[in-house]
Every structure is written in structure tokens, then in C-alpha cells.
């Protein structure tokens, strides 16, 4: 049975709880950071493997919880995911792999056994944080891809990324795409062509904006009957409750008070959460609090008692019990670096693309 936490004193609701953007609050909580960029130029034929883990020579080697973002600036080819999904992509496409699984990009008619690992082709670019990748030469058919990597602090608690498919594709030049997205992509290409001091910081912010915009568009297209956190955001009842939770995670919520402010009954709200997210609203709230605490433990300097109070617990002991129940370790162990590869993390990387 799920333990009921102790909460701090109830506080009045903020305007964000009613009118805020729950997706933005969730993304803020998982701390998206655009980091490292690769300008890749591939002469056909090519078959390029992006591995699950990069070796120490590559700039991405130290990153954890990474999503990969590719913009096909020119040319095109076939993207092949770890699960074997194949998708033709062409100039103008934006490709997001939420888990940065092992994947292959191929073009032309590559020879059997000609797969090349990106770690063997990448080299430093003109400024820090910008890398280059080149394959082949002398071909009239050259594909250019601008690759970015977005790191998150999701750890194992938030269900956001696990609500996404392994591959998302948007066309930046599609007539239905907003001018904002098209303009952001154009700015990305121009800045990669005019690399100079400060470029990395600007490109990082651009990559984060593109990441968020692709997620928004994905949520807007979810078919009726979809499940998961993103589908819950679009649900009129569960979505209102999620806004309240993410606007005020430390508030002394109960199932009744949350349902009341969401304009629902406790029973209906519980049914919607269970159907869409697979857990009651208070269980989701506890998991989100632990996510926020995990990020502060890993990246901040506040004491455990202060963090416990800030996320809604009256005592450090109650917080520690909840943290250990969900994560399998104490807050202190997490802060000291435990949990880098928790055994209950979902496994996504099973299929090998190596020939034979």
C-alpha cells in the first residue's frame, strides 16, 4: 500500500495553478539542457551508427539521460531505430529520439558490412562545444545533418519521456508548421554556418526551444484514446489536476482537495489518472516531488531537511522513507552519486546494428 506522506501547512493556490502550462512546469522540473552540437556531412553511400554509449573520445561520452535531435539541412536518407523502425527523412525534417537509443542513418546503397561508428569520425570544431563529422568525399550527393543533444535530469521518477515514442519527425518546411518553428530552424542553420564566440550558449537555447516545440506539436496530435502523461495533459479533468500539482507540488494536497479544485469528484479524478497514467493522483504527486528532490540533491547544496520541507514533507524522516521507497536508496546515497544506473530503469537498447 502506498505510504501517505506528511505535508507542510496548506498554502493558497497560485494563478499558475489555474492558468499555467503543465507541460512547461514538467519540462522545467526535468531540467532540459542543450549541450554539444555536431555538424555532420555525409557523402553517399553511407551507413552511420550512433551507439547507445559513446567512447571516451566523443563529447557525448559523459552525458546521461540524453535525447538526440537531428535537423536534416540538406539531402536525406533512412533513419533506423534500435527497435527496427525505419523512417525516410529528407531536407527540412526535424528528428527527435527521446532516449538517444542506438540508431543508424543510411543513404545511397551502402555496401554490406560498411557500417561506420560515429565515434570514429567525429572531431573538434572551431569553438568549444561544436564538433564536426565527415564521411566520404567527391560525391554529388551530400547530406548535411545538424545534431544536438539535450540532457535531462529526469532520472527514474518522471513519466514524461517514457510517454514518448522512440522517434518523432516534424517537417520544418511543411505548410502546417508555424512560422516560429520554421524561423527557429532557419536560425539554427545560420548560426552553425557563422560559428563564433558565444555560439554554443545560443545554440543550446535554440535546441531546447525546438525540443519543447516538437513535444507541444506531438501532444496536439495525440489521437483519442491515447494513454500516458502527455495524453493526460490534454484530458480536461486530469489535465487540470496536473496543472495544480505542477504549479504547487509542496501544497498539502489530498485526493479530495485536488479533485475539488480540478472541478471533479474524487472518484472520477482517480479513474482518469488510473486510466491515463496508471496510478492515482496522489501517487503521481509523490513521484513528482521525489523527482524534484532528486534533482536538487544531485545538483544543489541545500540540506536534506530543507529539501524535504520545500517539497512538502514535515520531517526529514518521512521524506527519506518516501525517497527510498521510490528510488531504492536513501537521499544521502543519491546525493553521493548513487543511482547512475538504477536496476529498475527501463531498458531500450537491445538490438545491434552491426552486420553478421
Mean pLDDT of 135-149: 79
Mean pLDDT within 159-168:
81
Cell 523512417 maps to which residue? 87
Burial of 303 per CB tally in 10 Å (0-12, 13-18, 19+) = exposed
Proportion of the chain above pLDDT 90, given as a percent: 30
**∠ at Cα 20 (14, 25), nearest 5°?**
100
Give the pLDDT score at 356: 27
pLDDT at residue 121 is higher than 70: yes
Separation between Cα atoms, residue 220 and residue 165, nearest integer Å:
15
**Residues 203-251: tens digit of each pLDDT:** 777 777 788 788 888 888 888 888 889 899 889 999 999 999 999 999 9
For residue 195, pLDDT over 80 is answered with no
User: Does the structure show a pLDDT above 80 at 51?
Assistant: no
By CB atoms closer than 10 A (0-12, 13-18, 19+), residue 39 is buried
pLDDT of residue 115: 85
Least confident of 149-163, 213-227, 304-318: 149-163
> Average pLDDT for residues 132-155, to the nearest whole number?
77
Q: What is the DSSP secondary-structure string of 203-245? A: HHHHHHHHHHHHHHHHHHTPPTT--SHHHHHHSHHHHHHHHHH
The yes-or-no verdict on residue 65 having pLDDT over 60 is yes
Provide the whole-model pTM. Answer: 0.72
**Partners of 95 in the β-ladder:** 70, 169
Instruction: Give 346's contacts (C-beta < 8 A, 6+ positions apart).
Output: 162
- In this structure, are residues 21 and 234 in contact, taking their beta carbons and an 8 Å threshold? no
Number of Cβ atoms within 10 Å of the Cβ of 198: 10
Domains annotated on the chain, with CATH:
15-26+228-335 (1.10.10.60), 33-151+160-220 (2.60.120.280)
Written as one string, the DSSP assignment of 113-152 is T--EEGGGTEEE-SSTTEEEEEE--S-S-EEEEEEEEEE-
Percent helix / strand / coil, the chain, rounded to 5: 40, 20, 40
Give the pLDDT confidence score for residue 280 in this predicted structure: 96
Range with the largest mean pLDDT of 94-103, 217-226, 305-314, 341-350: 305-314
In this structure, of 69-78, 93-102, 230-239, the range with the lowest mean pLDDT score is 93-102
Q: What is the pLDDT of residue 9?
A: 29
Q: Are 139 and 43 spatial neighbours (Cβ–Cβ below 8 Å)?
A: yes
pLDDT, one tens digit per residue, over 252-267 is 999 999 999 999 999 9
Classified as helix, coil or strand, 282 is helix
Euclidean distance between CA atoms 302 and 288, whole angstroms: 19
Amino acid at each position: 500500500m502506498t505510504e501517505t506522506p506528511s505535508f507542510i501547512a496548506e498554502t493558497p493556490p497560485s494563478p499558475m495553478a489555474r492558468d499555467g502550462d503543465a507541460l512547461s512546469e514538467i519540462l522545467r522540473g526535468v531540467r532540459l539542457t542543450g549541450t554539444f552540437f555536431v555538424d555532420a556531412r555525409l557523402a553517399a553511400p553511407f551507413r552511420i551508427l550512433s551507439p547507445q554509449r559513446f567512447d571516451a573520445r566523443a563529447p557525448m561520452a559523459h552525458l546521461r539521460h540524453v535525447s538526440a535531435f537531428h535537423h536534416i539541412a540538406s539531402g536525406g536518407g533512412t533513419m533506423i531505430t534500435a527497435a527496427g523502425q525505419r523512417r525516410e527523412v529528407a531536407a527540412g525534417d526535424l528528428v527527435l529520439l527521446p532516449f538517444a537509443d542506438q540508431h543508424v542513418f543510411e543513404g545511397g546503397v551502402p555496401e554490406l558490412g560498411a557500417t561506420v561508428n560515429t565515434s570514429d569520425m567525429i572531431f573538434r570544431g572551431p569553438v568549444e562545444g561544436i564538433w564536426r563529422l565527415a564521411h566520404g568525399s567527391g560525391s554529388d550527393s551530400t547530406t548535411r545533418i545538424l545534431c544536438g543533444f539535450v540532457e535531462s535530469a529526469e532520472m527514474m521518477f518522471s513519466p514524461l519521456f517514457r510517454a514518448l515514442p522512440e522517434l518523432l519527425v516534424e517537417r520544418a518546411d511543411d505548410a502546417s508548421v508555424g512560422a516560429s518553428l520554421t524561423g527557429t530552424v532557419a536560425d539554427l542553420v545560420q548560426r552553425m554556418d557563422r560559428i563564433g564566440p558565444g555560439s554554443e550558449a545560443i545554440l543550446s537555447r535554440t535546441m531546447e526551444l525546438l525540443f519543447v516545440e516538437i513535444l507541444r506539436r506531438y501532444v496536439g496530435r495525440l489521437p483519442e484514446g491515447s494513454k500516458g502523461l502527455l495524453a493526460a495533459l490534454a484530458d480536461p479533468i486530469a489535465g487540470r489536476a496536473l496543472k495544480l500539482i505542477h504549479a504547487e507540488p509542496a501544497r498539502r494536497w489530498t485526493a479530495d482537495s485536488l479533485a475539488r479544485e480540478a472541478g471533479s469528484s474524487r472518484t472520477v479524478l482517480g479513474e482518469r489518472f488510473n486510466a491515463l497514467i496508471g496510478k492515482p493522483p496522489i501517487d503521481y504527486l509523490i513521484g513528482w516531488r521525489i523527482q524534484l528532490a532528486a534533482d536538487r540533491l544531485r545538483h544543489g547544496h541545500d540540506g536534506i531537511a530543507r529539501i524535504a520541507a520545500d517539497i512538502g514533507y514535515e520531517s526529514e524522516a518521512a521524506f527519506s522513507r518516501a525517497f527510498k521507497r521510490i528510488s531504492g536508496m536513501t537521499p544521502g546515497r543519491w546525493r553521493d552519486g548513487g543511482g547512475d544506473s538504477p536496476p529498475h530503469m527501463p531498458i531500450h537498447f537491445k538490438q545491434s546494428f552491426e552486420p553478421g
